[in-house]
A and B are shown apart, each in its own frame.
Chain A
Amino acid sequence: MDIIMSGFFQRALIGGMLIGITAPLMGIFLVLRRLSMIGDTLSHAAIAGVALGFVIGDFPILFGLIFALLASFAIEKLRKSYKSYAELSLAIIMSGGIALASIFFTLGRDLSMDANSFLFGFIYTLTPIDLWTMLGVTVAVLLIVGKHLHGLFLITFDEEAASVSGMPVSYYNILISVLTALVISISIKIVGGLLVSALLTIPAACSLLLAKSFKQSIMIVVLVGEVAVICGLLIAGVWNLAAGGTIVLVLIAFLLLILLGRNIFSRIA
């Protein structure tokens, strides 16, 4: 239990609680627009950026963000060239990201870089600067989503109606990509590049089963994300398990419980 009282664990807990808000919040917009795989693709690109940061010597989160942003613009561009085969662009960028990351890993071998930590998270190395960055991103995401909730709802629900009502649809698309890239780049240290997309999509999957309104669905994703991050970190801390993996398994357990509960409920009712 001592681990829970230690400074690095408490920093991990604060960081986890911050991304437990933002990642599911951006995830619900991606999932509802059928763009679940974008989170996965951007995070693979961000892994390459984080690795490059380590090779150069600093700013892994910043490089992760830049790579994720570049990837989101590349996806848009490729999507236009292939039109009806849009998911092809995701496959290309995803493997491109991992390819770059593997090259940076070999370049950084002498710097005692551990590939595992990029893929599966290195939450216990969070510095105060990391936490301030996470706090900044969380506040920014909450303010922007709060200010544009009406527009984000309309564009998610019915993109055509949004354009006919004069909304700048492409501006909103870029906004969603940029915010998602931001959230992913701050999440990599906590859950790892391979597991970020779980934090984006599984809370949304839970909320689709439960929510009756859009407002409810937003509250449910944040609640599920928060509870899963806190439970996952505590379990990982006490039993000395990988933090990112534990959080994701807790999320999946929640989803299974909700599915089970719904089945039982519908049989009784």
Chain B
Amino acid sequence: MNIGTEACHRDIITVDSVSFSYQQRDVFKNVSFSVMERDFIGLIGTNGAGKTTMLRIIVGLLKPTSGEVRLFGEPISQFKAWDRIGYVPQRNNLNPLFPATVKEVVLSGLSGKRKWFGRHSREDYQKCDDALMAMGVEDLAEKRIGQLSGGQQQRVFLARALINTPSLLILDEPTVGIDYETQESFFHMIKHMHQHHNMTFLMVSHDMEMIKGYLGESPASTAGKLNFYIRHSHETQDCIEDNLAHSLKHLRSQMESQKEG
């Protein structure tokens, strides 16, 4: 499968004839696809279709039985620039009693060498405040993560993923267990980021309803039980766009001004 061939956008994720089998059973066979800069890919499938497996292979948590994965053009075994990837996990893995504040969780998204005893620089705290502001959870900074509602927790995880201003954002079933209205505002935020920031998205979900409107009615490609829905953020001829926002700081004000406008 090939999504657009224009040269202006680089491949962010390349999955090259990847197969995976678990206990002699094929989960999927010979899957190939590529995600280009500023694409939004929805990876949709029923439970057991292997979508989480695919995601784990893409980020290097699992080794494929055969085939190769490249990130930003580099084979995954040599890939080092992990701070270019933001990751939003499934929320139900969170232990509600875990003693960590929202601020500590968001700061944990900063990669690279840390100072002694987990201290952070003033610049780190500034980045953290910006990410909290962008997600509208700055008032919750000192709260324990387990005290937050599902929607708030998801915003905190998004803030953690965004603190490094990543080029690729990977979301693993981000809205499981969140009510409809909160899901909607969450998707609104993601869509806004896709359209106005230089960011590529890969989202895994079993629930098509929400993103159908954004990614189209039918999958651009299928591989076994996995369906790929794809949307590029703009037409390829408009590729040179120089008004992309790069800073987190202005994300919220931008979104709000758009709503009013």
Contact = CB atoms under 8 A, between A and B. Distances in A.
Given A160-B61, A164-B170, A165-B87, A150 B99 contact: no
Contacts, number: 77
Classify the secondary structure of A's interface with B: helix
A160 B144 contact: no
B61 A164 contact: yes
Contacts of B80: 166
Interface string B69-87: 0000000000010110101
Interface in A3-44: 32
A158 B89 contact: yes
B101 A213 contact: yes
B106 to A, nearest CB: 12
A214 B104 contact: yes
A153 B61 contact: no
Contacts of A147: 116
Given A160-B87, A164-B82, A165-B87, A146 B101 contact: no
A146 B60 contact: no
A158 B93 contact: yes
B100 A146 contact: no
B59 to A, nearest CB: 5
14 contacts: A32-B95, A150-B114, A157-B100, A157-B108, A161-B87, A164-B60, A164-B61, A166-B82, A166-B111, A207-B99, A208-B99, A211-B99, A214-B104, A217-B99
Interface of A: 32, 146-147, 149-151, 153-154, 157-158, 160-161, 163-166, 207-208, 211-217
Given A151-B114, A163-B61, 5 more contacts: A149-B117, A161-B160, A212-B99, A212-B142, A213-B100
Interface of B: 59-61, 80, 82-83, 85, 87, 89, 93, 95, 97-101, 104-105, 108-109, 111, 114, 116-118, 142, 144, 160, 170
